[in-house]
Each structure stands twice: as C-alpha cells, then as structure tokens.
Amino acid sequence: MNKAYQNIKVIGFDADDTLWVNETYFRNAELEFAKLLGGFETANKVDQELFKMEIKNLPLYGYGVKGFILSMVEMALELSNYTISNTTIEKILNIGKEMLNAPVVLLDGVVETLETLSKKYRLIVATKGDLLDQERKLEKSGLLDYFHHIEVLSDKKEENYSKLLKHLDINPAEFLMIGNSLKSDILPLININANAIHVPFHTTWAHEQVTEKETKDKAFKTVKNVREILNLLD
Amino acid sequence: MNKAYQNIKVIGFDADDTLWVNETYFRNAELEFAKLLGGFETANKVDQELFKMEIKNLPLYGYGVKGFILSMVEMALELSNYTISNTTIEKILNIGKEMLNAPVVLLDGVVETLETLSKKYRLIVATKGDLLDQERKLEKSGLLDYFHHIEVLSDKKEENYSKLLKHLDINPAEFLMIGNSLKSDILPLININANAIHVPFHTTWAHEQVTEKETKDKAFKTVKNVREILNLLD
C-alpha cells in the first residue's frame, strides 16, 4: 500500500460524475433550453446568460436540479423581455422533472471498486446537490449497501470538509476523498491535510474548473479509472 | 430526572417551528400567491389547488422553499389556463427569494434551553427541507455553537430515523427528539422505541396533521414551552 494511505479509516466518494453520469444530463438540459429560446437568441448566448444566472442565484438556491430550473425560468423571462409563452415555461419545468427522473448510469469500474474497498474501510457518499435527489439516485444505483451513509454538503469548501471530519470524529489523515472535481473533491482536502484521489470525468461544469496554478505542487494522485485506486490502497 | 430519559446521549431538535418561526412565512407566501391569482379564482380555491400540487410534486421535489416555488409556478400556469403574465411569474419567483432571505425569529425559551442542555448532551439539528436553506437559517439564528452538527433528512419517517441512529452509532433508547410535528418529530420515534417530546406550534401545515387515533396510547410527553424540557431532563 502507498504509505500516505496507511491511516485511512473513512473514504468519501463524490457521487455525480464519480459514481454515475450527471453532467451529461445538465448539458442535454441546456441544449434543450437553448432550443426553446432559439427564437430570441443564439444557443451560445443562451448558454452564457444561463450560466451567469446560475452563478447569481447560487448563494440563494445552492446546487442541484431545483435551483437550476428556477434559474432557467427566471432567465427565460428576462431574455425574452417578458414575452415567453406559458407553454414554454411549462416545458422548462418538464426539463427539470425529466432530470429528476433520469436513470442512473454507473461509471465503469465503480461496482468492483466499492465491493473491494467496503470490506476494509467505512465508505460514505459526500456530495453537493438536493438531498432527496441524491438519495434517490443512490437508491436507484444499487450501491446503497456499500455505504455507511450519505453526506450532502451545501458546498465543498475547506470549512465544509472540516465540519464533516468533526462530525465523523476522525483526523484529516484518516480521511480519503475520491472525486472528479479538482475544485470540490481534491484541493480543499489537500489544504486541510486530508487525502484525495482525482478521477477525472470527460465533462466539467465551468464553475468547477480550476487553473493549473491552483493545482501546482499539491500532493494528490490522479487515476484514469476509479478501479486503479485499488492498486494504491491494497 | 424522569426515568425514561436517563439513557439519553443525543438530543435531536427539529428546526422549523421548533427553534424558529417558519410556517408563518409559508402562510404569508400563500396569501400573497392567492392575491396574485385573484383574477382567476377565490383565495380558498387557490389554496386548495396549491396544496394538491405540492403533494403531487412532493415525491419529486421533496420539502423546502425551492420545490414550493416550482409548484406555485406550475399551479399558476394551470389555474390560469396558460394565460398568466410573465410579470406575475416573476413575482412568484420573488416570493421564494424573499422566503429564502427572511430573518430568523427564535421561539421563546430556545436559547436558555439549548444553553443548559448543550452542557450535558450532544445536541443535533434534525430537519427536513433544503440543506443550504437550513444551514443558512442555523447560521443566522446564532445557535450554531450549541449543536454538534445538522442532519437534513429527505423525510422524517421511521426508516429515516433508523438510518440516523445507525449513523450516530447509538441505540434508540439513547436518542431524544424534540419537535412541533406529531407526524414527523414524534410518532416515528416512538414507533422505533426512541424518545420524543412534543412542543406544539400554533400553526401546522395540513400535510403534517395527524388524527387523534394515531397518537392514542403513544408514550410521549407534550410541553407548552420548550423551556419545560429542562424540568423533565434535570
């Protein structure tokens, strides 16, 4: 085993785009939304304005599908100069409902990794987003039994992780986080002296992107497939 | 001390309408919403239809302000036969934003009760609703330091509480729940052999109401003011 990991007691897994596909559903929703507003603006402009609206509303709505839909509705009103039709607004609401009802597609290697690690470590899910939505996805995923419990964090900054460790009654050195987002799953952990392994997903939301400078000299490993973690921990 | 409570290690407090005023904000929002739709239907009919829409959407949206607003928008489209104006929809979105920004008004006796109990027990907040919204309210309330952490449950049924106890690594007899809702904070706890004390609030959402039959022969105490708990536990 890699020496750095010998004290690990609890492993936290990010959920969206680490255990299962998620960002792809948001991208598809944005494409659909841009089509609905095609009479008013180019898809590119709609995308840009929606992103701005999401970031503006993030402190109030937080992460997850419900806030995303509320931002789409607000954006449609503004972008159309308050001329958007009622049926289009209904279609926007339905995009949200479809997202909440979407099937859970597991990423390659997840099941065998959890199967092996759950025998030796306490595994938890540590995710952002709507609690109900994340619980529902975990249930649909069939992965429920591998995890001790699910932690939904309102944000994934250093203070949120410090609170989580206090709550788990463990030291930073005893915690390993695994996830696809450098900004949310990796850097805050390294900064509080916990452990993190990065498993990139092919698509990253603009809000989650970090510069090369931010990751420079940070002590974390990157693996191509979540399965490779077994080599590092065994 | 009351003998039944001698094994208690962790006390869970419901948040909305137990620590601070909440239902009042929902009632005011409904009044405002009924006014906005006054051109289409009576306030009474608007109320009834909104309640139906909330219950219909509950499995998908869960509890909290964001789902409530999405249901109001959907209801406005339907009730107006898709003729509601864009500015009215914007006003509905703003009702939600005002709710999320509303001040936190503590209920009488809360501070001194927490001050005393926190010296002897591990206190947690156990609440439904949006995680971010509940964290924000806890922060605004000034009560943060009394609590070990906040648990946001997607629902408050027996299985949710059983999971919570497993997560806390304690037996049912070691847990006491305090809250205003018989349905959510009291009955499920009694049913899993944990402890519960009921502190009624003057307004209860229709969805949270229970019949007399459901509470008959159930072993829980009711107090008029949260402060009276100190007499039962000291």
Q: Please state the separation of Cα B71 from the chain's center in Å.
A: 18
d(C-alpha B202, C-alpha A59), whole Å: 31
Whether A101 sits inside 8 A of B133 (CB atoms) is: no
Between A122 and A217, whose confidence is greater?
A: A122
Q: CATH classification of A23-101, choosing from 1.10.357.10, 1.10.10.10, 3.40.50.720, 1.10.150.240? A: 1.10.150.240
Which residues in A lie closer than 8 A to residue B63 (C-beta atoms)? 132
pLDDT for the residue numbered A215:
72
Between A220 and B11, whose confidence is greater?
A: B11
The domain limits of chain B are: 3-21+104-233, 23-101
Residue A53 CB partners (closer than 8 Å, separation 6+): A71, A72, A74, A75, A78
Look at residues B54, B142, B130 and name the one whose alpha carbon lies nearest to residue A59. Answer: B130
Look at residues B57, B179, B131 and name the one whose alpha carbon lies nearest to residue A150. Answer: B131
Position A203, amino acid: T
Whether B131 sits inside 8 A of A148 (CB atoms) is: no
For domain B3-21+104-233, the question of CATH label 3.30.1050.10 is answered with no
| Residue A4, pLDDT above cutoff 90 | no
Q: Are B196 and B178 in contact (CB under 8 A)?
A: yes
pLDDT for the residue numbered B204:
73
Chain A residue with Cα closest to B94: A74
Least confident of A55-64, A200-209, B48-57: A200-209
d(C-alpha B178, C-alpha B200), whole Å: 10
Q: What is the mean pLDDT of chain B?
A: 92
d(C-alpha B200, C-alpha B28), whole Å: 20
Q: What is the mean pLDDT of chain A?
A: 92
d(C-alpha A189, C-alpha A193), whole Å: 6
Q: Categorize the per-residue pLDDT at A85 as very low, low, confident or very high, splitting at 50, 70 and 90.
A: very high
Q: Are B51 and B43 in contact (CB under 8 A)?
A: no
Q: Categorize the per-residue pLDDT at B129 as very low, low, confident or very high, splitting at 50, 70 and 90.
A: confident
Look at residues A76, A101, A75 and name the one whose alpha carbon lies nearest to residue A88. Answer: A76
Position A213, amino acid: K
| Residue B125, pLDDT above cutoff 90 | yes
Q: Categorize the per-residue pLDDT at A220 as very low, low, confident or very high, splitting at 50, 70 and 90.
A: confident
Between B85 and B214, whose confidence is greater?
A: B85
Whether B89 sits inside 8 A of A73 (CB atoms) is: yes
Residue B126: strand pairing partners? B151
Using CB atoms, which residue from B70, B82, B167 is nearest to A69?
A: B70
> Rounded to 5 degrees, what are φ and ψ at B125?
-100, 130
pLDDT for the residue numbered A14:
97
Interval B186-200 mean pLDDT:
95
pLDDT for the residue numbered B121:
96
d(C-alpha A25, C-alpha A31), whole Å: 10
Coil, helix or strand at residue B10: strand
Least confident of A188-202, B81-95, B152-166, B196-210: B196-210
Entry pTM = 0.88
Look at residues A229, A39, A13 and name the one whose alpha carbon lies nearest to residue A125. Answer: A13
Q: Decide the pairing of beta strands B195-198 and B221-222.
A: parallel
Q: Are B124 and B148 in contact (CB under 8 A)?
A: yes
| Residue A217, pLDDT above cutoff 90 | no
Look at residues B153, B171, B168, B228 and name the one whose alpha carbon lies nearest to residue B197. Answer: B228
pLDDT for the residue numbered A218:
73
CA distances from B126 to A13, A35, B162, B184, B199 (A): 23, 42, 13, 10, 15
pLDDT for the residue numbered A1:
67
Fold of the domain spanning A3-20+105-233: Rossmann fold (3.40.50)
With the CA atoms of A204, A207, A211 and A217 taken in that order, what torsion angle do they form, in degrees rounded to the nearest 10?
-80
Q: Are A196 and A229 in contact (CB under 8 A)?
A: no
The shortest C-alpha distance from A132 to chain B (Å) reads 5
**Mutating which of A122, A132, A168 best tests the B interface, going by the most B Cβ atoms within 10 A?**
A132
Sign of CA dihedral B141, B147, B153, B157: negative
Residue B109 CB partners (closer than 8 Å, separation 6+): B225, B226, B227
Residues of A with CB under 8 A from a CB of B: 60-63, 66-67, 69-70, 73-74, 77, 80, 82-87, 89-90, 93, 96-97, 100-101, 130-133, 135, 148-149, 152-155, 163, 166-167
Q: Categorize the per-residue pLDDT at A130 as very low, low, confident or very high, splitting at 50, 70 and 90.
A: confident
Q: What is the pLDDT of residues B140-162, one digit of tens each?
A: 999 999 998 888 888 999 999 99
Work out the number of other CB atoms within 10 angstroms of the CB of residue B154.
Answer: 19
pLDDT for the residue numbered B1:
67
Position B72, amino acid: M
pLDDT for the residue numbered A93:
98
Interval A174-201 mean pLDDT:
95
The shortest C-alpha distance from B224 to chain A (Å) reads 32
Between B148 and B175, whose confidence is greater?
A: B175
Q: What is the pLDDT of residues A87-122, one digit of tens each?
A: 999 999 999 999 999 999 999 999 999 999 999 999
